[in-house]
Amino acid sequence: MRTLRTQVAVVGAGPAGLYLSHELRAHGVDSVVVERCSREHLERRVRAGLLEEGTVRLLRGSGLADRLDRQGLVHDGFQLRFDDTVQRISTTSLIGEPTYIYGQQEVVKDLLAARPPDDGSLHFDARDVQIAGITGDHPSVAFTADGEQVVVEADFIAGCDGHHGVSRASIPTASLVVHSRRYPFDWIGLLVGAAPFASELVYSVHARGFALASMRTPEVSRLYLQTDARDEQSDWPHERIWDELWQRLYVEEGRRTRGAVLEQVRVPLRATVAEPMQFGRLFLVGDAAHIFPPTAAKGLNVALEDASVLAHALIGWFRRGEAGPLEGYSAARLPAVWRAQDFSAWLTWLFHPAADATAFDHRRRTASLTRLAEAGSSAVAFADEYVGRSRRRPPARSYVHELDGMEA
Ligand code: FAS
Ligand code: PHB
């Protein structure tokens, strides 16, 4: 058995774990990262695509955005289609912030490339990962790699191992509440080797269902289609997927091109939040703590925000002996997580007609979408949530003063 000693043991080398480890290193705090998959798998895994301005600023501030700034697509707005109309919502005009299209796997590649070669602090293909000692001062992570049993002794553990990891499961059930919501929708996601059919994202709400035309590069499209959570895979042969996509995107017959499907995934629309996001010396970060429906593209953006907040709390502890931010990590993060959940829920119900939707529902939905497309206060408030600026702003002072007791 081999024993390693570090200040922070990070479980999971997704965006959250890699960014956390990068930030800690940049401020002289030592970490060891334990990842169950191979480096090749991480670099190939296509997931999120939309980065908020705040996320890009974090990556720029950490010296990780050179390639993003060269290759990322800057979008000043997007199209909103409904009732055979096309509206354009410009977040840059409304609140001065664009969004960026840059695949999550590209962020992961940039994070991996930024690590010193062979620095020995990142362990891939880890098996039987187990967390212990989180209620004491010397927690540890044990795993097997290349047939060797390894134990990482640390001062703190960051659980960055996603929704199906071991971190959240290491917290006693009596000390944790997991709030969840399963929406009655799934998405079918296609990665297609064909140029996007529009230069910006197209969110399209049709009586037949929601469709989203996104992209990863000028040569690769990312297309999503609402399906019913009860549907079987066999209900959606390629022919039907393409037909429904083009109908829901209101694309005329002549332009209904296709392309080579490079990957197809089925994404359940669900939401979870684990409270609290810390227990003893273990801190939950990103998908290990919360899952968002992908509708509003919050998962990756909130994960990197968590990692940045935890990094600075740990740096404060090790560099200045500050305990406050570390003890207050969960309390600091949960309001932002719930704000992102609220916006994601609102947008999911707005964009996805339910199976039992009636003419009343369609007309009410049209009224909501029309309000969104008008450049008024609704559009400004929407843009503020969509680009994530609302989470970065200090909580607005309430204009409603607390009542001393409830007046009759
Ligand atoms: P991740 O899940 O990315 O990383 C966790 C890491 O921990 C993984 O590398 C995993 O291998 C590792 N791990 C797991 N168990 C372990 C163990 N026991 N020991 C060691 N390592 C372990 N978000 C958006 O914002 N927009 C989108 O369009 C979008 N699309 C998505 C599509 C799909 C199919 C999926 C699954 C998710 C999508 N998401 C999207 C959400 C996604 O991007 C996450 O929010 C993001 O990956 C969060 O990053 P992490 O918290 O680092 O978790
Ligand atoms: C994506 O490209 O994966 C994407 C973009 C915007 C969204 C959701 C997903 O709102």
Expressed in angstroms and rounded, the spacing between residue 366 Cα and the centre of ligand 1 is 34
Mean pLDDT of 104-117: 96
DSSP annotation of 115 reads S
The type of residue at 317 is W
Mean pLDDT of 215-220: 95
Which percentage of the chain shows pLDDT scores above 90? 91
Question: Alpha-carbon distance 324 to 310, whole Å?
Answer: 12
Of 188, 273, 195, give the one whose Cα is nearest residue 234: 188
Residue 146 pLDDT class (50, 70, 90 cuts):
very high
Q: Among the atoms of ligand 1, which is closest to the Cα of residue 37? A: 11
Mutate to test the pocket of ligand 1, among 34, 51, 104, 128 (most ligand atoms within 8 A of CB): 104
Q: Which whole-number Å values give the CA distances from 71 to 102, 103, 114, 187, in the listed order?
A: 8, 10, 17, 27
Expressed in angstroms and rounded, the spacing between residue 295 Cα and the centre of ligand 2 is 7
> Residue 237: inside a domain, yes or no?
no
The domain that holds 147 is classified in CATH as 3.50.50.60
Q: What is the pLDDT of residues 393-408, one digit of tens each?
A: 876 666 565 666 666 6
> Residue 202: inside a domain, yes or no?
no
> Residue 135: inside a domain, yes or no?
yes
pLDDT at 402: 62
- Residue with the smallest CA separation from ligand 1 atom 17 is 165
The reply to whether ligand 2 has any atom less than 6 angstroms from the CB of 222 is yes
Give the chain's mean pLDDT.
Answer: 95
> Residue 170: inside a domain, yes or no?
yes
Question: Alpha-carbon distance 300 to 99, whole Å?
Answer: 13
- Tokens linked to 139: 């927690």
Burial class (CB in 10 A: 0-12, 13-18, 19+), 120: exposed
Q: What is the pLDDT of residues 281-324, one digit of tens each?
A: 999 999 999 999 999 999 999 999 999 999 999 999 999 999 99
Q: What is the pLDDT of residues 261-273, one digit of tens each?
A: 999 999 999 999 9
Ligand that lies nearest to the alpha carbon of residue 49, given by its number in the listed order: 2
Asked if residue 131 lies in contact with residue 166, where contact means CB atoms within 8 angstroms, the answer is yes
Angle at 15 between CA 2 and CA 213, to 5 degrees: 150
pLDDT at 254: 87
Domain span holding position 35: 2-76+101-179+271-339
Q: What is the pLDDT of residues 52-71, one digit of tens each?
A: 999 999 999 999 999 999 99
80 has which bridge partners?
Answer: 87, 203
Mutate to test the pocket of ligand 1, among 46, 161, 385, 391 (most ligand atoms within 8 A of CB): 161
Mean pLDDT of 345-366: 96
Question: Alpha-carbon distance 261 to 188, whole Å?
Answer: 12
The type of residue at 279 is F
Question: Alpha-carbon distance 275 to 326, whole Å?
Answer: 16
pLDDT at 387: 97
pLDDT at 196: 93
Residues 6+ positions from 396 with CB-CB distance below 8 Å? none
> Residue 69: inside a domain, yes or no?
yes
Mean pLDDT of 168-188: 98
202 has which bridge partners?
Answer: 79, 213
Q: What residues are annotated to the active site?
A: 75, 203, 294, 298, 386
> Residue 364: inside a domain, yes or no?
no
86 has which bridge partners?
Answer: 81
Lowest mean pLDDT among 149-153, 291-295, 368-372, 399-403: 399-403
Expressed in angstroms and rounded, the spacing between residue 324 Cα and the centre of ligand 2 is 36
Residue 274 has pLDDT above 90, yes or no: yes
pLDDT at 302: 98
> Residue 260: inside a domain, yes or no?
no
131 has which bridge partners?
Answer: 141
> Residue 277: inside a domain, yes or no?
yes
Give how many domains the chain has, as a whole number.
1
